[in-house]
């Protein structure tokens, strides 16, 4: 556990020094400024538009940072041989992987929280009083990023290609949001052979719409998943993909 | 490859449980419009249904706020606001896309009651097309049957069709303070107060619009009405 904490801490410090996070913050600032213009166009619904636009871009910025980090962190250390320095000490490969992942997600969380603080200042200045639960929506966005990053880390080790892992993760992000529609198609679609690949996808792709609390208001009927279930789902999904990444890493020869 | 199988089985179990916890969303029954199809599809695929609805509302407001183009390419000019004939201040056009646009917004976010109330209010009270307004409200109610505001609007439109101003006021009054009540409706009720001789209530409502509305157009109308009532 101590090894994981040390690796996470060094990973976090290293990520904070990277220019990418500064760029993402600047980019988020520009987009939040743009959201003000969009807010003016919405007249009476200005705060709602600001809320949705801001949180949406915070999520996308967090995702971009997490995908970049998850697909490069292990591969870069393998290429630069830095991984030898770590693994030559009494550190297990699983500990190394989890430590790096936790460090990365800590950096992403800090980056998203900074953007959210800026976003909240703008919202409050515009007179936003709810009823949307900001913290819940923010946590939902982070859980989505967390699940996708774990998958991206597995894909990076599996394919040994940053580009492939990034693109597949992006596709899975999209599919994960269409999962309710995919299930609807499977139930109501006519041609079974054509739907077979969709059926398979619906079991493997993470249900990101489940964690999409920002859009929860769009679903007016049916029971809402509790926090315990959402946290369990995200944690187990991460565990599945990190364990798979660990199995692959264990087989690699350094 | 045992680990891969185990991982897939775990994913399968998790997703099977997730499918039980959360029901399928309302399908998009209206289809996409040519104008905003790409952005709606992109936003929905990124998990931003609410933002897709917001963009749809902005487009609807721009559409309704612009003069309608005639076949010869010339638009109707906007006339000064006449409370007796509100449709003329909106170019006297039909704004045929107003209803379908509102339904598409409700497809993206069924809980976005402002869009439904705005479109229904504009159709019923500004454009004198109560049947189209009721169609929008029916669609909204089919997705959110417990929304009392929709039910009140349906009743108010019924009274409006029979020229019963007091009935319209009675139905809409409880919702004038709601966050989702469009300023257009508050302005219309204020005018009905004025017409039915309730000048004090009309002045209060006009003052509220003047002080709190973010719409400069309606703020101007409220200021003019307050001046008229003071004279």
Least reliable range by pLDDT among A219-223, B90-94, B177-181: A219-223
Question: Tens of pLDDT along B125-163?
Answer: 888 888 899 999 999 998 888 888 899 999 999 888 888
Of the candidates A7, A188, A201, the residue with the CA atom closest to the CA atom of residue A92: A7
Question: Tens of pLDDT along A49-94?
Answer: 888 888 998 999 899 989 998 898 888 888 887 777 777 777 788 8
Residue B69 has φ and ψ, to the nearest 5°, of: -75, 135
State how far Cα A217 lies from the chain centre.
21
Distance CA A47, CA A45 (A): 6
pLDDT at B134: 92
- Are B52 and B44 a contacting pair, CB within 8 Å? yes
- Say if B59 falls within a structural domain: yes
pLDDT at A154: 92
Q: Kindly indicate the confidence band of residue B34, based on its pLDDT and cuts at 50, 70 and 90.
A: low
pLDDT at A223: 45
State the Cα torsion B93-B96-B101-B102 to the nearest 10°: 80
- Are B130 and B161 a contacting pair, CB within 8 Å? yes
pLDDT at A221: 47
Report field, pTM of the whole predicted structure over 0.90: no
Chain B residue numbers with beta carbons less than 8 Å from the beta carbon of A207 are 14-15, 18-19, 22
Of the candidates B53, B101, B68, B106, the residue with the CA atom closest to the CA atom of residue A42: B53
Q: What percent of chain B has pLDDT over 90?
A: 12
Q: Kindly indicate the confidence band of residue B32, based on its pLDDT and cuts at 50, 70 and 90.
A: low
Number of domains in chain A: 1
- Say if B225 falls within a structural domain: no
Nearest to A218 among B8, B11, B110 (CB): B110
pLDDT at B1: 62
* pLDDT > 80? residue B68: no
- Say if B210 falls within a structural domain: no
Q: What is the number of alpha carbons within 13 Å of residue B66 lying toward its C-beta?
A: 13
* Residue A235 structural domain: 2-251
Residue environment code for A109-131, b if the CB has 16+ CB neighbours within 10 A, otherwise e: bebbeebbebbeebbeeeebeee
pLDDT at A141: 93
- Are A122 and A57 a contacting pair, CB within 8 Å? no
* Residue B98 structural domain: 2-181
| Whether the predicted interface score ipTM is above 0.85 | no
Q: Which residues of chain A have pLDDT under 70?
A: 19-21, 23-24, 189-191, 216-225, 254
pLDDT at A222: 44
Cα A22 to Cα A103, A113, B12: the distances in Å are 17, 14, 38
Residue of chain B whose alpha carbon sits nearest to that of A201: B12
Distance CA B202, CA B198 (A): 6
* pLDDT > 90? residue B117: yes
Number of domains in chain B: 1
Chain B, 25 to 84: residues with Cβ < 8 Å from chain A are 25-27, 44-51, 53-54, 57-58, 61-62
- Say if B169 falls within a structural domain: yes
Q: Does A221 touch chain B (CB under 8 A)?
A: yes
**Is pLDDT larger for residue A231 or for residue B33?**
A231
- Say if B211 falls within a structural domain: no
- Say if B171 falls within a structural domain: yes
Distance CA B155, CA B74 (A): 37
């Amino acid at each position: 556990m101590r090894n994981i904490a040390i690796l996470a801490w060094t990973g976090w410090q290293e990520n904070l020094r990277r220019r990418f996070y500064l760029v993402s913050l600047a980019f988020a600032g520009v987009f939040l400024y743009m959201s003000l213009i969009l807010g003016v166009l919405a007249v009476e619904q200005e705060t709602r538009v600001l809320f949705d636009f801001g949180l949406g871009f915070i999520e996308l910025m967090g995702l971009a940072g997490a995908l970049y980090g998850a697909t490069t962190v292990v591969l870069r250390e393998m290429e630069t041989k830095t991984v030898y320095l770590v693994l030559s000490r009494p550190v297990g490969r699983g500990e190394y992987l989890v430590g790096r992942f936790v460090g990365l997600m800590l950096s992403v969380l800090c980056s998203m929280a900074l953007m959210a603080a800026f976003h909240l200042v703008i919202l409050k200045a515009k007179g936003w009083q709810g009823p949307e639960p900001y913290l819940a929506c923010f946590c939902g966005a982070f859980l989505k990023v967390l699940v996708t990053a774990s998958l991206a880390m597995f894909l990076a080790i599996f394919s040994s290609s940053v580009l492939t892992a990034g693109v597949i993760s992006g596709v899975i992000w999209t599919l994960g949001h269409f999962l309710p529609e995919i299930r609807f198609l499977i139930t109501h679609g006519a041609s079974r052979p054509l739907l077979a690949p969709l059926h398979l996808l619906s079991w493997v792709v993470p249900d990101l719409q489940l964690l999409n609390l920002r859009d929860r208001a769009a679903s007016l009927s049916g029971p809402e998943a509790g926090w315990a279930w959402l946290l369990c789902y995200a944690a187990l999904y991460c565990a599945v993909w990190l364990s798979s990444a660990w199995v692959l890493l264990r087989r690699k020869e350094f | 490859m045992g680990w891969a199988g185990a991982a897939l089985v775990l994913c399968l179990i998790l997703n099977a449980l997730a499918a039980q916890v959360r029901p399928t969303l309302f399908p998009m029954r209206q289809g996409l419009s040519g104008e905003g199809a790409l952005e709606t599809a992109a936003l929905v695929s990124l998990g931003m249904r609410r933002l897709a609805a917001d963009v749809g509302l902005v487009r609807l407001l721009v559409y309704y706020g612009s003069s309608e183009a005639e076949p010869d390419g010339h638009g109707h000019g906007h006339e000064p606001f006449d409370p007796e004939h509100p449709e003329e201040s909106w170019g006297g056009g039909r704004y045929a896309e107003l209803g379908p646009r509102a339904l598409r917004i409700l497809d993206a976010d069924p809980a976005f009651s402002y869009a439904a109330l705005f479109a229904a209010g504009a159709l019923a009270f500004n454009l004198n097309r109560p049947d189209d307004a009721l169609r929008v409200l029916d669609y909204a109610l089919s997705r959110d049957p417990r929304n009392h505001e929709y039910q009140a609007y349906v009743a108010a439109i019924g009274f409006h069709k029979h020229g019963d101003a007091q009935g319209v006021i009675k139905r809409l009054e409880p919702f004038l303070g709601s966050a989702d009540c469009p300023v257009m409706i508050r302005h219309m009720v204020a005018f009905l107060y004025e017409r039915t001789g309730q000048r004090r209530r009309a002045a209060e409502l006009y003052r509220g619009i003047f002080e709190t509305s973010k719409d400069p157009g309606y703020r101007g109308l409220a200021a003019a009405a307050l001046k008229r009532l003071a004279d």
